[in-house]
Chains A and B, each alone.
Chain A
Amino acid sequence: DTAVSQTPKYLVTQMGNDKSIKCEQNLGHDTMYWYKQDSKKFLKIMFSYNNKELIINETVPNRFSPKSPDKAHLNLHINSLELGDSAVYFCASSQTNQPQHFGDGTRLSIL
């Protein structure tokens, strides 16, 4: 009964491909997030959805598109993958004005 689960855990693909990462939370939280952790372990927020509405949209290339079919799911689709997209992507969720709970991450490697 994992609280925030991401799939896949590892993703290896070639430049130019399109890929998706899925995230689900069973905590009943209203808000979900995507973060990118680079090779130096720096974490930066990308997007956030509250009850399926986009509330945070940082400076992220248009190739990244989040989708929230319901408040328990937030998926991340990436088009035309580039070498610089290699990173660990974390999904998180929170209740309104409460701390975030993180998934275990998806390690994306671009060949």
Chain B
Amino acid sequence: AQSVTQPDIHITVSEGASLELRCNYSYGATPYLFWYVQSPGQGLQLLLKYFSGDTLVQGIKGFEAEFKRSQSSFNLRKPSVHWSDAAEYFCAVARFTGGGNKLTFGTGTQLKVEL
């Protein structure tokens, strides 16, 4: 069965500092990986995805993530955090089935940004 672990429940960074959010997955085949962001009272917005190919993927809002098969990781990074990045971040792995895809989410990492 697929699973995702986000080891950090809370992370606090200063505005302008770099950010790395950790994600480890368990999946029996080639994983399809995603990072979503959820602002308070909002739905989930897709930041980026990895399906295949280049292991460093670029996303929206200046985020990137690197897929490392040997470490079963898909960590999210941003070189300089903005106060508006404060939100909940979810890593997810997908299993494609019957035309859709079943997402399994990690427990999320809440990011606080100090001004």
Residues of A within 8 A of B (CB): 4, 30-31, 33, 40-45, 48, 50-51, 53, 55-56, 90, 92, 94, 96-105
Contacts and interface: CB of A to CB of B under 8 A. Distances in A.
Contact of B108 (A4, A30, A41, A98): A41
Contact of A56 (B42, B43, B45, B97): B97
B44 A102 contact: yes
Contact of B101 (A51, A90, A94, A104): A94
B61 interface: no
B2 to A, nearest CB: 11
Given A41-B88, A42-B107, A43-B90, A33 B43 contact: no
B99 A104 contact: no
27 contacts: A30-B100, A31-B99, A31-B101, A33-B100, A40-B107, A41-B38, A41-B108, A42-B107, A45-B102, A45-B104, A48-B98, A48-B102, A50-B98, A50-B99, A51-B99, A53-B98, A56-B97, A56-B100, A90-B44, A97-B99, A99-B34, A99-B46, A99-B49, A100-B46, A102-B36, A104-B43, A105-B43
